[in-house]
Amino acid sequence: MQPGAGAKMGAKAGHPEVLGMLVVLWLGAVTVTYLLWQVPRSPTWGRLHQEEEPSRSREWGSSPAWEPRGGRAPQPQPDSCRLVLVESTPQDLPFAAGSPSAQPLAQAWLQLLDTAQESVHVASYYWSLTGNDIGVNDSSSQPGETLLRKLQQLLDRNVSLAVATSCPTLARNSTDLRDLANRGAQVRHVPLGRLTRGVLHSKFWVVDGRHVYMGSANMDWRSLTQVKELGAIIYNCSRLARDLDKTFQTYWVLGAPQAVLPRHWPWNLSAHINQLQPFRARFDGVPTTAYFSASPPQLCPHGRTRDLDALLAVIRAARQFIYASVMEFFPTTRFRRPVRYWPVLDNALREAALQRGVRVRLLVSCGLNTDPRMFPYLRSLQAFSNPQAGVSVDVKVFIVPVGNHSNIPFSRVNHCKFMVTEKAAYVGTSNWSEDYFSSTSGVGLVVSQRAPSAQPGVTTVQEQLRQLFERDWSSRYAVGLDGEAQGQDCVWRG
Ligand SMILES: *[C@@H]1O[C@H](CO)[C@@H](O)[C@H](O)[C@H]1NC(C)=O
Ligand SMILES: *[C@@H]1O[C@H](CO)[C@@H](O)[C@H](O)[C@H]1NC(C)=O
Ligand SMILES: *[C@@H]1O[C@H](CO)[C@@H](O)[C@H](O)[C@H]1NC(C)=O
Ligand SMILES: *[C@@H]1O[C@H](CO)[C@@H](O)[C@H](O)[C@H]1NC(C)=O
Ligand SMILES: *[C@@H]1O[C@H](CO)[C@@H](O)[C@H](O)[C@H]1NC(C)=O
Ligand SMILES: *[C@@H]1O[C@H](CO)[C@@H](O)[C@H](O)[C@H]1NC(C)=O
Ligand SMILES: *[C@@H]1O[C@H](CO)[C@@H](O)[C@H](O)[C@H]1NC(C)=O
């Protein structure tokens, strides 16, 4: 309610008593709104919100997706958060000996599922974990098939599995979700096309309300052996896990029959961890701040930082460098017609380079399915570079050689979506174009560590991510945009 609206109604009513009553009501409403607004904004530093205390019975017990099968009692454990970067490197994509690397995704996923005791929640775009799902017979589908078996075993040992997935699906012939549902998994197909004109494009897991995985990889065997991916796992961190699970719950709500987008999300899905009030703790002894963002705005309950705002905040805070690795970069809409100009991220990068002297590097994927209409935008950004004026912007494309894997469709690409500055690491699930922030669901993780001077050997997460970016950027698979450089057509001839 707005002050003007109250005054107008009062004037219309005419009687002074009615006017007085309306003023009192309006002041009351303002006070209540103010108090409600204040609740989630109170400081979270070093203090638990009641809602996020690890007592499962209080709030979370009521949610069906949280119940372990067979009703075993949960065993609360203290938090000792730990973050591990994970990646998937396509077969036959060797980096120079001694290059830095993150933990292999396939191994990390299996280990994470081994720790599951009660529940696994998976937010996913589509599923195709077996070669059969897409009609391909190739030995590199084996890790995906192993993962599917591991998920089946979870259900056999009474761990509950809840899956939210996009509807309609890209992998119509896949039998994975039917197999899992037959063994007791709860599966909800979220019609974001109908609700927001987007797709459920998020990719994350919440395990036992304590551990999370998030990153670029789909529930697809190719993400384990044929596509370059990057993600993060946070272990033993129930407050962050429960925060990310609230985003899972938004999908769960929208996957119910006849669901509509709520005008206001329930308060129990409000975020108390966000850009303004990040989670603060020591991760392996290293002071860390972290929060999860979400998109689109319609799927952000009160207090949730929007994914685009998280990206912009990381870009704007940078003073030395911004290195970004994304599959696509379009300063436009991608799917909505008529096409609309959307220079939000493009402008933010140029502004950082020009006004703050930040060194900007953008690494974009290039493969057989790359839309060539992207190149003029990339060349435009590159053309902004002006070393004499102290403006440093560089763009390269990353080409995964197809080699003898041409039998595998939609693979051999750099599917990573991350950004790193001297201050923070951002790991996301969204391509860089408008639709991913306005209608398609995604999540982002912003994390920042401060190396304690007492522990010289510590490598912060942003430093680890910078090293991975530099490895890719300086590898022979990264090709500049200038002139006749090989790979302009995204076919590796090296
Ligand atoms: C949130 O509250 C609603 C009732 O408003 C309840 O049905 C739901 O289970 C709660 N969700 C969680 C995650 O606790
Ligand atoms: C799983 O739960 C069912 C029903 O509660 C029970 O009969 C079965 O023994 C449990 N299995 C395991 C492996 O815990
Ligand atoms: C898959 O290929 C292998 C050899 O590469 C062959 O032995 C096997 O029969 C094939 N399977 C199917 C289902 O075609
Ligand atoms: C599903 O399988 C049918 C028959 O094998 C095939 O024609 C079709 O292209 C497949 N669809 C997808 C989406 O893979
Ligand atoms: C998580 O905590 C448990 C119990 O404190 C510990 O055994 C386990 O090693 C921890 N996991 C990781 C990955 O640190
Ligand atoms: C595919 O190519 C790699 C090297 O790029 C080679 O090691 C491997 O043997 C080849 N596999 C087949 C089946 O030709
Ligand atoms: C990004 O864009 C590409 C090309 O449009 C599309 O195939 C892909 O599904 C999008 N999403 C992700 C996660 O890369």
Can you list the domains of the chain with their CATH numbers?
Answer: 82-259+270-480 (3.30.870.10)
Atom 12 of ligand 7, nearest CA residue: 431
Neighbours of 168 (CB within 10 A): 10
Segment 55-73 shows an average pLDDT of 45
The two beta strands, 127-128 and 119-124, are: unpaired
pLDDT at 154: 97
Segment 32-56 shows an average pLDDT of 35
pLDDT at 493: 57
Per the model's pLDDT, the better-predicted residue between 454 and 480 turns out to be: 480
- pLDDT band with cut points at 50, 70 and 90 for residue 280: very high
**Is-contact 207 119, C-beta < 8 A?**
yes
pLDDT at 135: 95
Q: Please state, in angstroms and rounded to a whole number, the distance separating the CA atoms of residues 429 and 221.
A: 17
Whether 262 is in the pocket of ligand 1, judged by its Cβ within 6 Å, is no
For the four alpha carbons of 123, 93, 96 and 422, in that order, the dihedral sign comes to negative
- pLDDT band with cut points at 50, 70 and 90 for residue 444: very high
Question: Among the options 208, 220, 307, 309, which is catalytic?
Answer: 208
pLDDT at 456: 79
CB within 8 Å of 107: residues ≥ 6 apart: none
Whether 92 is in the pocket of ligand 6, judged by its Cβ within 6 Å, is yes
pLDDT at 76: 67
Between the CA of 429 and the centroid of ligand 7 the distance, in Å, is 10
Q: Please state, in angstroms and rounded to a whole number, the distance separating the CA atoms of residues 424 and 440.
A: 24
pLDDT at 170: 85
pLDDT at 67: 53
Between the CA of 236 and the centroid of ligand 5 the distance, in Å, is 6
Q: Which atom of ligand 4 is nearest to the CA of 134?
A: 14
Q: Which atom of ligand 2 is nearest to the CA of 157?
A: 13
CA distance from start to end of the chain: 64
Whether 386 is in the pocket of ligand 1, judged by its Cβ within 6 Å, is no
pLDDT at 1: 34
Rounded (5°) CA angle 307-313-318: 135
**Rounded percentage of the chain residues whose pLDDT exceeds 90:** 75
Query: Does residue 487 come out as left (phi exceeding 0), alpha (psi in the -120 to 50 range) or beta?
Result: left
Ligand 6 test: best mutation among 89, 91, 92, most atoms within 8 Å of CB?
92
Tokens matching residue 151: 């998920």
pLDDT at 335: 86
Please give the model's pTM, rounded to 2 decimal places.
0.86
pLDDT tens for residues 228-249? 999 999 999 999 999 999 999 9
pLDDT tens for residues 171-201? 889 999 999 999 999 999 999 999 999 999 9
**Rounded percentage of the chain residues whose pLDDT exceeds 70:** 82
Between the CA of 191 and the centroid of ligand 1 the distance, in Å, is 21
Q: Please state, in angstroms and rounded to a whole number, the distance separating the CA atoms of residues 170 and 124.
A: 11
**Is-contact 451 462, C-beta < 8 A?**
no
pLDDT at 289: 98
Q: Please state, in angstroms and rounded to a whole number, the distance separating the CA atoms of residues 415 and 328.
A: 9
- pLDDT band with cut points at 50, 70 and 90 for residue 488: low
Whether 382 is in the pocket of ligand 1, judged by its Cβ within 6 Å, is no
Between the CA of 173 and the centroid of ligand 4 the distance, in Å, is 6
Segment 352-359 shows an average pLDDT of 98
**Is-contact 95 475, C-beta < 8 A?**
yes
- pLDDT band with cut points at 50, 70 and 90 for residue 337: confident
208 as an active site residue: the answer is yes
pLDDT at 75: 59
Segment 426-433 shows an average pLDDT of 95
Q: Which ligand is nearest to the CA of 141?
A: 3
- pLDDT band with cut points at 50, 70 and 90 for residue 490: confident
Between the CA of 64 and the centroid of ligand 1 the distance, in Å, is 10
Q: Is the pLDDT of residue 42 over 70?
A: no
Tokens matching residue 314: 């990381």
pLDDT tens for residues 70-85? 555 555 678 899 999 9
DSSP for 363-420, please give it: EEEE-TT--GGGHHHHHHHHHT-BGGGTB-EEEEEEE---TT-TTSSS-SSB---EEE
Backbone torsions φ then ψ of 43, nearest 5 degrees: -60, 140
Q: Which ligand is nearest to the CA of 410?
A: 7
**Is-contact 213 235, C-beta < 8 A?**
no
Between helix 16-38 and helix 3-13 the angle, nearest 10°, is: 160
Q: Which atom of ligand 6 is nearest to the CA of 92?
A: 5
Q: Is the pLDDT of residue 103 over 80?
A: yes
